[in-house]
Each structure stands twice: as C-alpha cells, then as structure tokens.
Structure 1
Amino acid sequence: MLMNTHEARLDALRKELKARGLDGFVIPISDEHMSEYVGAYAQRLEWLTGFGGSAGTAVVLTNAGRSPAAAMFVDGRYTLQVRDQVDGRLYAYESVPATSVPAWLAEHAPKGARIGYDAWLHGSKWAQAVEATLAAKGGALIAVEGNPIDAVWQDQPAPSAAPAVVHPDTFTGEASEAKRAAISEWLAAKNLDATVITALDSIAWLLNIRGADVDRTPVALSYVIARQDGTADLFIAGEKVTDEVRRHLGNAVNVRERAAFTQGLRELAGKRVAVDPERAVSAIFEELRAAGATLVEERDPTVLPKAVKNPVEQAGHRAAQGRDAAAVTRFLHWLAVEAPKGEVTELSAAAKLQDLRAVDPSLRDLSFDTISGAGPNGASPHYRVSEETSLTLEPNSVYLVDSGGQYLDGTTDITRTVWVGPDAPFAEVKDRFTRVLKGHIALALAVFPKGTAGSQLDVLARHALWQVGLDYAHGTGHGVGSFLAVHEGPQRIAKSSGGQAGTDQPLLPGMFLSNEPGYYKTGEYGIRIENLILVEKREIAGSDGEYYGFETLTHVPIERRLVDTSLLSPAEIAWWNDYHARVLEIVAPQLEGPDSAAALDWLRAQCEPL
C-alpha cells in the first residue's frame, strides 16, 4: 500500500528520531518568539500533519506499532478542522484543556522514554511540566540540537529576508526613545540590569519598526536586549536593516546579527535579567542560567503600554475602521446581489472582499486569513478555506465571513453572518442569531467598575444562549494591536477556566478588544457577530468610583433578516437603531457617486430602524 504525503513525512521523521536515539518528539505551532502566527519556515506542524490552524501540538512516538503512536492536540476552536485536515489513521485527536501533552505522555510514552523537543519552540514552564512527567516514568525530556523536522523537510522555506521599515510617530503617537526611556525606568525601579524582549510585536512597538516576515502580522524577525542605561541591542539579520532604519534607531540601539543572540545572552553573565515566561522560549532561560545571570520572571514591560493605545493610535484606528467599513459594506451589497444566483464560492467571496479592501492605498496586508464559511463550513470557528474545501454559497443558507485588514493606521477584524436568500430564514437560525446578537449588545452596553477583568464580563455575551442550553467554545473577545497583531494581549474576554492567559487582566481605558459571541451547529451552519470595541471612561453622576464602558469602533450593517425582534427588549432595539444610524453616518458619505448608487440604496435599507 502506497503512503500518502503526510504518512511518508511521518515515517521520515520517525526514522530521523530513531537515528538520534529518541523515543518521541513534540511538534508545536510556534517559532523562536512564541508567535501565534509564524513564518513559512516555521510551519513544521502543518508540513508534518496537514493541520492549518493557528494553535495546536503533535506528539510523535517512534514506535509506530504502539496505539496510539501519535496524537494531535487542539482546543475547541479546531475540533472540526483537525478532523478534516489530519489523518485519523495516523494521529489520535486530543482535546485541550480536557487533556494535555504531559498527561498524554504520562499514559502513552514507554517507561524510560527519551522524548525530544526543540527548546527554541517551547516555553520553560511547559518544559518543566513535561520533564517532571517523564521523570516519574524513568524517562527524560531531551533538548535536541537542530530540529529533526528541519532535517527531513527537503524544501523548507528560508526565513524571510524582507527589510524592516520605520513606522512613523504620526501613526505611533510616541517616539521610540520615550518608550525605551520608560523601560529603563521600569528596570531601575525593579533593580534589574536588563530585560530580554522576544515577542515580535513587542519589538516592533518598542522600536517603532514594522516588517513583512510573518504573513498577516507586520513584524520583523528579531530579538532585543534592553538595558537599564537606556541602550538596547537589536538582533536582526543585517540585510534587513536599511540606512533609514539605522538612522531611525540612532546610536543608543546597537544593531547586531540575529545569529549573535545566543552570544548576547551569554554577555549578561552576573546581571539581573528580566525574562517573560509566557513569551520567552525555554532555550533563553537555559542560556542565561548557563551564563550565570540571575533570572527574574517578569511580564514583558512593553505588553501593557502596547495594549493601552494613546490618542493618536485611537484616532488612527477609528479612521482605519471607517474606511474598512466602507469596503465591507460594498462587499455585503455585492454578496446580496450575487450570492442568491448560486455561483459565488467561499474562495471567490474572500477574493472579492480582499479586492475591495485593496483599493485603500494604506492597506498592507490582511490581518489574518479570511474565514469564509458557507453552510457547514461556517460551523468551524477558525475554518480556513482552500481549493479542496471551498463550497458554493447555496440559496437559502447561512454564510459566515470573518476578516480584517492591516492598515498603516490600524488593524481591523470583523465578522458578519448573512442569510443568502431569496426565501425567509428558518426560525431556528433566526432564534440562534438573535441570541448571539443579544449577547453582543449586552457586552457593547456593559458598564463596569475599574479593576474589572474580561472573565467577569464574559457571561453577558453568553447569557441568552445559556438560557436555552447553548454555548460556544471560544473566547468572546481578544485584544487587537495598532498595525500589529490582530490577537494581542494581555486583555481578553473569556471564561476564566482552563488557565487562559489574560482573563484576569483588568480592562483599562485605551484597550482595543473584539466583541464576538457566536453559535455553531455542527454540519449545518455557524453564526458570529464581531465588532471591535474600545475601553473608555464613563462619567456617572453619583458614582462611588471610576467606571468604564465600551465605544464600538466597527460600523458595518448587521444582517437584519436574521433578527427575531420578538426576542429583543426595547433597550436592545434602541441599541440596534442607534448603531445603524451611526453606520449610515460613517459609511454613506464614502458611497457617494454614480458607481456606488446601488450600494448606497442597499445600505440605507439595511440601516432603517427596526
């Protein structure tokens, strides 16, 4: 029997592991910076298994005769996708957080097993947990020299050579010198000599540079060591640094080759060094310990100031959202005309939406691969369309599209669920959509005291679904960057169970988040309504403290044909009407002109009060 591609790759990996004396190997979706989205060179898990999601891990045991001999670990967002993309004959499907890599190894790894891992792709706490698990069985976790997948991946792409670029203060609102000075003060206050900054978006924010090394995220592959005296070392491939970038960085930033980073860590011998255990890989901890540095675990000091957007970033984001709203509105009008004909596919719809965004000269990329899900494909929250999976948008069905753009002045992310006519929607679909809408409105209208975390607000978005025994398996809201990562911490709106990072972070004025409750019926349809929101202060007469609420930033019509108004309260109807009045105010002026007359008429009809 001939092996398929992924079976052959798995076989090649097992042979490589055996040659190295390993009984297994762990493969995450990660790079040396613990990034959510990674460059093509780091897509090892997808190459090996076929899984194209943004979060997941595989464990491969070398003994193919064991059962199971390999496993794929994903969370609830990818339950359906992993079964579509990963061969169940080769990998057992495991659900996180119900299980974990350490728990699986405790049960399935042979006694005395030597399990390999790439210390440049895993966090130190993860390594410690697996190490303890294997030690209890007489085994060991082995840091490999050179990733074994790289040894068998014959056509592995090279890391991107795209140049870094300066992101002007007119967009950032604060000079890099001021940001570095704040880091210096932070280090002095904590009696620290230096901090190692490894997250790519943190480096981009701190130095006011951007890049094109990772699809959908405008960052440059690099590391930074920032010191208490205000100086910093930037480790980046030399060919990526232009004269303009060097002038921008100035004399206080020493540009060194990325390959010299390990040497840079060793130079911190005898120093007190802050390292973020959530963002720095295990190898960095080991190098610093070996050098004799004193490690102090602290959150990356850029994370919170990056999340709290200044007035310039807020203004830029509103401007980007306004232009993006016009592009998405044009798309929804086009969809309303073309989709009922039964010829629009998931791929052609995504391409049309990208073309409409690309009219804006400030667009640099999409902010993630468009989730274009017709009918049953929409039931997979992070579905990724391909030539093999693309469905036609059938008349009288549900279509979900989650998309966004990377504009110089802001990062957008919006989901709309639409009914493809011509007949009226089914009662069940309207009920589910309206309950999702009620959750969306409840969160949009929330008022809460200073110190409130996202986990304390999550129930607002789920309440209407819970009342009829329904729920969704993803968070309700994630942070969003400023021409940076579309998923940005530390803020998050989600259930607090499962150790999810960010759910205990108090929400602060200036933070961008998404508001995206949903509902998914396996094999039939998916529903999600997503706008971006901004935490802002609320002035309340007679209040006993500081209170916050949300400004809605996204202004695109919501599918009115799917609304069951009998389920909405007067306050919810008022929110709908106010929201769509604002949509009309922002988008209509951008649709002036004879070529937009039909789209403008459609928009006005969508924005009529309920």
Structure 2
Amino acid sequence: MSFQTFEDPAGGGDHAARLQALRDVMRDQDLSAIIVPRADVHQGEYVAEADARLAWLTGFTGSAGFAIATLDRAGVFVDGRYRVQVRGQIDLRHFTPVDWPETRPSGWLREALPQGGRVGFDPWLHTRREIETMETALQGSSIALIALEGNPVDAIWPDRPAPPVGAARIHPTELAGETSAQKRSWLAAELKAAGQAAALLTLPDSISWLLNIRGSDLPKNPVVQSFAVLSDSGHLALFADSAKFDDDLRAHLGNEVSILPHDALSAALIDLEGPVRLDPGSAPEAAFRILDDAGTDVMRGPDPAILPKARKNAAELAGMRAAHHRDGIAMVRLLAWLDAQDPASLTEIDVVRRLEDLRRDAGILDISFDTIMGAGPNGAIVHYRVTEMTNRRLSGGELLLIDSGGQYADGTTDITRTVALGQVRPDAVQPFTAVLRGMIALSRAKFPKGVAGAHLDALARQFLWQQGLDFDHGTGHGVGAALCVHEGPVRISRASDMALESGMILSNEPGYYREGSFGIRIENLIVVAEADAEPGRQMLGFQTLTLCPIDRRLIDRAAFSANEVAWLDDYHAWVRQELRDHLDPAEQAWLDAATAPLA
C-alpha cells in the first residue's frame, strides 16, 4: 500500500541552476525556447516520479500546467486552481506565474520572441491537437515549433528516477461486469464497421479497463502504464514491461493478447496496415508523425474505450455503491472523532493519518489522491497538499476543508466536506449556504437526453453568482470504477460539450475560496440515471452515491427553500439508515445529531 507522504513533493533542489542548464541545452540546439509540460507519454493527469519534469525544473507540483523557458524569461502557466499554490512553490526571481488559459502560450511566445524563433518540444509529451492549435495560433509570427529527438530536461536530470515497474493484477469479471474478450470483440466490431484496421490506445486507464487488469505503476491510480494496438480482429498488442505480468495474469489475458516491450511500439507502428484510428486529443504527436512518415492512413477518432468505460454497467455500479458504503462509515467515524477533540490538539497531518487509518479498517487498497486537509487559510488553496513545512495546527473558530477518497477493490471514492471547528465563524455561513444550495440544485436536476455538462454547470453556481461570488474550477469531473478518480471525457463545466449518458459517474463539487481566510467545498459523487418523463420524451437525472452528513451548523436555514430542506433531510435520513448500524454507540449518537432534520 502507498499512502500519503508529507514531504515537499517537488523534492527541493536548485531550480535556478536547473533553468540555467536547460538554457545551455537551448543554446547548443539553436533553440529560442523550450516547452516543459506536466505530462507523460500517456497524457495522464498523474505522472510517475520519472516523468515529473515540470516539478523538477520549477518546483511547481500541481496536477496541471506547463512552463515555457526562453533565454531570458521563464513562465509557469497555471489555471485558477493553482494560482495561490504556484506563488508559494516557485522561485519568483527566476520564474513568473502566468494565468492560463487567459494567457495562451502562443500569445506569450509572440510577446517573448517578437522577431520569431525556434521553440522546442518533446513530441511524445504533447497531443496532435495541442500542437496543431499552437501552430495555427502562431501563424504569421515567424515562430516555428521544433519536434525534438530527445527530451531536453532528461538530458540535464542526472539522478532521474527509473520508470515504474509495478505489478499488475486481475480485475475480476464479477466486478468488471464483462470479460476482456467480450469488450475487445465489440470494440473490434466497431473498428471494422468504421473501416479501420486498428486503433492505437494510449490512455492507461482505457487499456486497464479493456483488459480487466489493474496496476501499481502510479500511486493512487491503479493503472498499468502501457500502450496498446487493438486490431479489427480483436487481437491486442500490449506494449509494457513484461515484468509486470505473472503467469496467472498472462493466462487471464489469453492468447489474443500479446505482450511486447515498451520500446517496440515505434517499430510496430511503422509496420501497421491502415487505416489506424488515433485520438488527436489524447494520442501523442510522435505517434502521428511515425504513421505519417510510414505513409500509413490515419483516421482521427476518439479512443474507442473511453465512452464505454465512462458508461458504468450494473456490476460496476454495484461495486461503486458498496465502496461508498464502506467509505461513508470511515468518514462518519472521522467526523465524530474530530468533533470530540480539542482542535488545538491536532494538526492537519494528524487528521489525515486518522482518516487513512479508518479507511484501512474499511478495506482500502490505497487513497485515490493525496488528501486535501486545509485548515483556515490553507483551505483556500484549491488543491492544497499538506507537507511537514505547511502543516497547520487546527484552531477553534476556523473551517477545515477535507477532500479525500479511497481506492477499493470494487470502487473509487471522492468526497469533500467542510466543517466548523468549534464556534462557527459568521462570515462563512452565507457562502457555505450558497455552495450547498448549488450542490443540491445539481443533485435534483432533471434534464433531457443530449444535455452536456456545460448546460448544467450554472445550476451549481447560481447562488454564488447572486452574491457576486464564484469558483475557479469545474463543478464536476468523471470518476472511474476502481480506476482513476479523475476520468474523461465527461465533465460538468463551462467547457464541456460531452452529452451525459446513463451510468456515467461524476463529482458534484461547487466551492468558494477566500484567500488568506478559508475555503469551502462540498462534494458528492452522482451517477446519471433515467428519470421520469412524459410519454415520448426521455429525461435523465442524478442519483447520489456518497454517504456522509453535511455540516448543518454552517447553514443559514432562512435562505433554504422548502424543496432544499426536503432534499437535505431526505439525504441525511438515507445516510443515517445506511450507516447507523455499523457504528459504535458514541458514533451513532453523533450521527443522529448530525443528520437530524433541519429545524
């Protein structure tokens, strides 16, 4: 098991010296700039230590962002989730935070290189869509994007960790709901019907889902780092380190799955007969270039597994419900324990460790991401990660934001609760109530088939907007079934045009953050399901998976409508009914009080 550590995830180091070494490489290769993304060859949100190039170079450890270095400046591009965090992690004498996407890399480069120049990039770390978008935006600037043979950061990283070789394991059919052979058969039929001879799969969670396997290459994300080529016959070539697979797993994969070395991928792509499906939004630019150079016909299309994976079947939904039940017990035990303590006797790390112990008791395999345990002003850092250096002692009168989750054999959880520590601070009640009303509005939503996340996002923000408030992250992300806690392609955000479908699981997590003071976020996981409708019309709605009380002490009852009171009371009654018998008497008494009807 690999649980949370509390060291500086950037690992320290002389980032100014590293930047200078990178500039020496630029001079040697006649480059005006180099792009350093927070990405690996699979374009995943989470990267192994060997691929944490952005953190090694700059000190910034957020899960999204990139840097662009020229010979005289270096920008670290981050979105609204990380604008507080980045200023505390990078050396502001040498790196400059850049608000992204408000400032596009093309615009920044045009300003930094007004006479034109050569901008180097690693084609394995960028998708074709990224590169095409940037090339289009740079037209007329005399700035050229140069695909590099080797990664320039790797060339100056003397003690770069080795790539992970975590053991893979079987994900049982009773949890997956279908065999790998069944999945490969109907995906292959889809390729054949589209006139495609093969598809390149580059996303490890898609491959792990398709083969009914799970891995341990990345902490907290049970995927097998690999590439795969699926043919229209159903045969699959898996490109991964063979040391990950024991005899039982090889037998599970069967004769229609061939395991080949990771470094055999390029040669295999050259030999492929087309047309080959590649997803321009997730496949690396390098793969397109290899096929283009070989003269192979490429047909653009989505990863064939990505939508089937997002539509959870009955077995996957049953596993997710069971995991949330056990996780809810752990969360209630934590909150009951926390309310019984003197806040000043605890630190953020103390509470993280207590929660991990309780989840171990519930059967956790790992946490699903580093726990966000933000006390007071740390709660205003959207993706705060506590370290020994930042560890804050709790204090009465503050808020504590707890965003956490678990990886169970049968499901993945993600839950956020914001709780009052002792006396409620009056200035937190109004925004807390607005956040909760938005979360309830989205939970209660009913909508026609074809509606996308962008259409629903405003429901969660409406009460904040009425007060002139907002939050700088999406309202919801997709969640995997015993897979990655952040799963594409579905989201609830202003930027998502993907229609929601039955079986999709998303987070529902509006928030509010007052820098230097407190943060508020309330999150449940919800699943899209058929809803009642008039004859001839098809409607969808949401069912809630998460089981845990919401802090009633922070609610302005007068602001709630009758429907909102009814929803919260019904939700709390369900939580109490599901969890009460699994708690000891003191925990039961706490739960009874925490889920009492809203007076």
Indicate the TM-score class for this superposition, using the shorter chain for normalisation: over 0.9
Shift of 1:196: 0.3
% identical equivalent positions: 47
Q: State whether residues 113 and 134 of structure 1, in contact with CA within 8 Å, keep that contact through their aligned partners in structure 2.
A: no
Kept in 1, the 8 Å contact 2:77–2:99? The answer is yes
User: Is 1:39 equivalent to 2:43 in the alignment?
Assistant: no
The Cα of 1:111 is off from its aligned counterpart by 2.5
2:26 corresponds to 1:17 = yes
Amino acid at match of 1:606: A
- The equivalent of 2:554 in structure 1 is 562
Q: Deviations over 1:451-472 (max 9, x none)?
A: 1111111111111111111111
Which of 352, 355, 359 is matched with 1:353 structurally? Answer: 355
Alignment map for 1:143-182 (pairs within 5 Å): 143-182=147-186
Shift of 1:322: 0.3
Indicate if the aligned counterparts of 1:478 and 1:488 stay in contact, CA closer than 8 A.
Answer: yes
Residue 563 (structure 2) pairs with residue 571 (structure 1): yes
Residues 151-550 of structure 1: matches in 2 within 5 Å? Answer: 151-268=155-272, 270-338=273-341, 340-361=342-363, 363-421=364-422, 423=423, 425-496=424-495, 503-540=496-533, 542-550=534-542
Q: CA deviation at 1:129?
A: 3.3
User: Letter of the aligned partner of 1:466 in structure 2?
Assistant: W
Amino acid paired to 2:16: E
Residue 470 and residue 149 in structure 1: after superposition, are their counterparts in 2 closer, same or farther (change >3 A)? same
Q: Distance in 2 between matches of 1:544 and 1:170?
A: 35
Aligned-residue offset at 1:577: 0.7
**What does the per-residue CA deviation read over 1:361-398, in whole Å, with 9 as the maximum and x for residues that have no partner?**
3x221111111111111111111111111211111101
The answer to which of 507-516 and 139-148 deviates more is 139-148
Task: After TM superposition, give the deviation of residue 11 of structure 1 in Å.
Answer: 1.6
Q: Does structure 2 conserve the Cα–Cα contact (< 8 Å) formed by 1:52 and 1:384? A: no
Separation in structure 1 between the aligned mates of residue 524 and residue 300 of structure 2, nearest angstrom: 35
Query: How many angstroms does 1:134 deviate by?
Result: 5.2
- Report what 1:60 is aligned to: 69
Counterpart residue identity of residue 52, structure 2: Q
Q: Which stretch shifts more, 315-324 or 387-396?
A: 387-396
Could you tell me how far apart the structure 2 residues matched to 1:385 and 1:22 are? 38
Q: In the alignment, does 2:598 pair up with 1:597? A: no
Aligned position for 2:134? 130
Which amino acid in structure 1 is aligned with residue 285 of structure 2?
S
Q: Which amino acid aligns with 1:456?
A: H
Q: For the Cα contact (< 8 Å) 2:477–2:490, is it kept in 1? A: yes
Query: How far has the Cα of 1:607 moved from its partner?
Result: 1.0
Q: Does 1:90 align with 2:94?
A: yes
Once residues 360 and 438 of structure 1 are traced to their aligned partners in structure 2, the CA distance between those partners, rounded to angstroms, is 31
Question: Are the aligned partners of 2:206 and 2:309 in contact in 1 as well (CA < 8 Å)?
Answer: yes
SS of residue paired to 2:365: strand
> Structure 1 residues 161-170 or 190-199, which shifts more?
161-170
Look up the equivalent residue of 2:232 and give its one-letter code: Q
CA distance in 1, matches of 2:13, 2:121: 26
Change (3 A) 1:192 1:570: same
Question: How far, CA to CA, are the matches of 2:462 and 2:50 in structure 1?
Answer: 43
Asked whether the equivalents of residues 513 and 519 of structure 2 are also in contact (C-alpha less than 8 Å), the reply is yes
Are the aligned partners of 1:25 and 1:59 in contact in 2 as well (CA < 8 Å)?
Answer: yes
CA distance in 2, matches of 1:106, 1:552: 47
Contact 1:102 1:129 in 2 (8 A): no
2:596 equivalent in structure 1:
608
Q: What does residue 499 of structure 1 align with?
A: none
Q: For 1:208 and 1:168, locate their aligned partners in 2 and report how far apart those are by CA, in whole Å.
A: 7
Matching residue's letter, 1:602: W
In 2: Cα distance, 1:399 partner to 1:527 partner: 8
Contact between 2:443 and 2:544, CA under 8 Å: does it hold in 1? yes
Give, in angstroms, the shift of residue 143 of structure 1. 1.5
Moved more, 455-464 or 11-20: 11-20
Residue type of the alignment partner of 2:502 = P
The Cα of 1:133 is off from its aligned counterpart by 5.1
**Conserved? CA contact 1:237–1:259, under 8 Å:** no
Q: 2:402 aligns to what SS in structure 1?
A: strand
Question: Aligned-pair distance for 1:136?
Answer: 3.0
Deviation at 1:4, TM superposition (A): 6.8
In the alignment, structure 1 residue 81 sits paired with structure 2 residue 75 = no
What secondary structure is seen at the aligned counterpart in 2 of 1:342? Answer: helix
Contact 1:38/1:215 (<8 A) preserved: no
1:109 aligned partner: 113
CA contact (8 A) 2:420 2:554 kept: yes
Structure 1 residue 132, shift from structure 2 partner: 4.6
Q: CA deviation at 1:544?
A: 4.1
Equivalent of 1:5 in 14, 27, 31: 14
Query: What is the distance in 2 between the residues matched to 1:111 and 1:350?
Result: 52
1:76-117 superposed Cα distances (whole Å, 9 cap, x missing partner) = 111111111112221221112211112211111252422111
1:598 CA drift (Å): 1.6
Instruction: Specify the code of the residue in structure 1 equivalent to 2:325.
Output: G
Q: What is the CA–CA distance in structure 1 between the aligned matches of 2:380 and 2:226, rounded to whole Å?
A: 37
Give the secondary-structure state (helix, strand or coil) at the position aligned to 1:457: helix
Deviation at 1:130, TM superposition (A): 3.2
8 A Cα contact 1:134 1:141, kept in partner = no
C-alpha separation in 2, matches of 1:135 and 1:491: 32
How far apart are the structure 1 equivalents of 2:53 and 2:308?
33
Instruction: Give the secondary-structure state (helix, strand or coil) at the position aligned to 1:201.
Output: helix
Which sits farther off after the overlay, 16-25 or 297-306? 16-25
How many angstroms apart in 2 are the aligned matches of 1:314 and 1:4? 45
Q: Point out where structure 1 has 5 or more consecutive residues left out of the alignment.
A: 497-502
Which consecutive unaligned segments of at least 5 residues does structure 2 have? 1-11
The answer as to whether partners of 2:110 and 2:116 remain within 8 angstroms in 1 is no
* Partner SS, residue 88 of structure 1: coil
How far does the alpha carbon of each residue in 1:464-484 deviate from its partner, in whole angstroms, 9 at most, with x for none? 111111111111111100111
Distance of aligned partners of 1:564 and 1:221 in 2 relative to their CA distance in 1, 3 Å threshold = same
Amino acid at match of 2:594: Q
Partners of 1:139 and 1:584 lie apart in 2 by 62
Paired residues of 1:27 and 1:57 also in contact (CA < 8 A) = yes
Task: Kindly tell me the number of residue pairs found equivalent between the two proteins.
Answer: 587
Once residues 388 and 21 of structure 2 are traced to their aligned partners in structure 1, the CA distance between those partners, rounded to angstroms, is 27
